[in-house]
Chains A and B, each alone.
Chain A
Amino acid sequence: MELLRSLAITGTEEVLSISGLILLLAAAWGGDKASRAISIAAVAVLTVCAVLTAPALCQAAMGPGVSAWNGQFSGDAFAAFGKLLVYAGAAVTLIVAPAFFERDNAMRSEFPLLVLFAAMGMGMMVSATDMLALYIGLELNSLAAYVMAAFLRSDERSAEAGLKYFVLGSLASGILLYGISLTYGFTGSTSFAGIHVALAGPLSMGAVFGVVFVLAGLAFKVSAAPFHMWTPDVYEGAPTPVTTFFATAPKVAALGLLMRVSLFAFGAQPGVWQQIVIFVALLSIVIGALGAIGQDNIKRLLAYSSINNVGFMLIGLACANQAGAAAMLVYLAIYVAMSIAGFVAVLMLRDENGAPVESIAAMAGLSKTRPALALALAAVMFSLAGIPPLFGFWGKFVVFQAAVQAGLLTLAAIGIAASVIGAFYYIKVVKVMYFDEAADVVRGRSDVAQRVLLFVSVVAISPLGYLLTKSLGVLAGHAAAALFHIA
């Protein structure tokens, strides 16, 4: 009975793995010609998983009733919130990928499978309540991600991105694993609940080292400064659909993991990790803002923007309370929408031969040649900058509100000041598109799927998005409450 209950709670992972195996057979028989059909099937699988996940979020599931496999996994509202965002990011990647790769004749039917298995790993990451489950989910996601970064084999930059991501990612996994083993050694448990109980007593030096190493490893995975070095290179080198994926799904999963580890496993000792998170948040905000200024490649710019945004999200974590966690989740959901809009718009920037255009200079005067695309990009930039009528402002607002209420006034003040620096380079892109002499490079046509995706995501981040604030707030509240429900 216990087995059946556990199987039901981790149902989405089983659906993903079994359908992944079936589609693997289809890929083996159908060859690369079948890749479009397999992509469509994979999107359908992700939709089914999202439908399976949604009830847990709406019903605010939490507590021991949704704990599976002897406390290794939890099917609570927090896991459901993370999974829904992960599946959305993965589905968008699958929708935009075939058209991109087919131009280079590089579409392989294995691509959707890698995305499916990565989604399974990320689902395990956000629902993990045990260090072992955490690590296995993380590795499953990472291995698929390394391969996806290097997917354009003929492209040197893609191979470089894959190799760089692999080497640095393995190093980060090693650091994380070392932290996990220290934590296990000094607390005597790998389960988050067990670690929580063990840390509640007097704190040993070894456990502190464990916490620091675990946080350092996870900071690498969320690409927070000072562990952000790989991000610009990987985001620039990886094929754009894969970059879309990296900026959405794995980021959500890793941030979810970081939240659950900090707030639940290490929740009894917030003093130990709070200062680390504050330091990492501030450094990410500043480095993300300053690093982006000199960039002339739009993908690199968005990479620095993602470092910057992770910093803002970590402010929510630094509050170490339920309101902060809920604010962070709201920001995360809005950030996923902004990333999807941004990268789909970048995908639509193509010259007349259909080759991707990535330099910001080539986007000059886009408002005259492609007014709709320029408008969408401008909306993304203003939203990322957090300028009020757009929805990106709301994310920053709730996070800063939580920080002020938690008494972190200095942190909030520095964050707001740095977001002004950040606004400079976002607005520079808008200025190049609207006020510079038209370069007339972007001429390629884009397909219907991209336009629909761009339209939906831009509407979500437009002022119309404020209609969502109430339901988003309620759902994020459910998820944050589940995180703080100590069984």
Chain B
Amino acid sequence: MIQVIAFYLFTFLMLCSAVSVIFARNPVHSVLWLILAFFNAAGLMVLVGAEFIAMLLVIVYVGAVAVLFLFVVMMLDIDFSEMRAGFIKNAPLGLLIAAVLLAELTLGVGAWKTGALQLGVASGTAAAPEGLSNTAAIGALLYTRYLFLFEAAGIILLVSMIGAIVLTHRQRSDTRGQNVGRQIARRPEEATVNVKPAVGQGVTL
């Protein structure tokens, strides 16, 4: 029963936040809604017993979203002082929600640890073998059955790296690069001189 409630909760929240991603006027808010959508998707994955994918969603997308955040901040003209003012005003409410979430989390984990809450178990033809964690099962498949495709995916990443370098790297003649060898070879005696200029005459080098 509790699983059904959790399923509908996660699904409802995910749909709402996905809609909000599109309708939010502030792109930063869109990104935050996106994070919420990912977290709820991760919750759904935990419910069906795919904990590895759930963790992947959280870990990878939080990283990706951080990058996305940077892009948004760099490319769009956003007034951050205005946002900060709103932050102070809404801080109590935000802290309250955070506290509620933390309490839920603690209660949920506590309930699961005492055995009151049963998580879903993967079933069907594609399910992981009995007694093997998701991570171990995926690893075993990735390095045996899908070895060739896994390596080919590596080549795809290599190609995209080559492409990025080919399209952006250029030799520029109008910049002065760093000559490490010359910098290291430089001695104090060559670089500094002691002079004693006469009063009112300045230094001639």
Contact = CB atoms under 8 A, between A and B. Distances in A.
Verify that A and B bind, or say they do not. yes
Interface residues of A, number: 35
19 contacts: A6-B148, A13-B152, A17-B151, A69-B145, A69-B147, A72-B146, A110-B166, A114-B166, A117-B155, A132-B146, A136-B149, A139-B156, A140-B155, A143-B163, A144-B159, A146-B163, A147-B162, A162-B167, A188-B126
B163 A147 contact: yes
A92 to B, nearest CB: 21
A69 B148 contact: yes
**Most chain-A Cβ atoms within 10 A of its Cβ — which of B153, B159, B166?**
B159
A124 interface: yes
Interface residues of B, number: 22
A164 to B, nearest CB: 15
A117 B162 CA distance: 11
B148 A72 contact: yes
Contacts of B155: 17, 20, 117, 120, 140
**Most chain-B Cβ atoms within 10 A of its Cβ — which of A68, A120, A144?**
A144
Contacts of A70: 145
A25 to B, nearest CB: 12
Given A69-B145, A132-B149, A136-B149, A188 B163 contact: no
Contacts of A124: 152
A272 interface: no
A22 to B, nearest CB: 13
Contact of B159 (A13, A140, A150): A140
* Residues of B contacting A: mostly: helix
A111 B162 CA distance: 10
Interface string B126-156: 1000000000000000000111110111011
A287 B125 CA distance: 45
Nearest to B146: A132
Contacts, number: 73
Contacts of A441: none
B167 A136 contact: no
Interface in A103-151: 108, 110-111, 113-114, 117, 120-121, 124, 132-133, 136-137, 139-140, 143-144, 146-147, 150-151
* Residues of A contacting B: mostly: helix
A73 interface: yes
A143 B163 CA distance: 8
Given A17-B155, A137-B152, A188-B125, A144 B147 contact: no
A140 B158 CA distance: 10
Nearest to B151: A17
Contacts of B126: 188
A117 B167 contact: no
A145 to B, nearest CB: 10
Contacts of B165: 110
Interface string B101-112: 000000000000
A133 B167 CA distance: 28
B183 interface: no
B167 A114 contact: no
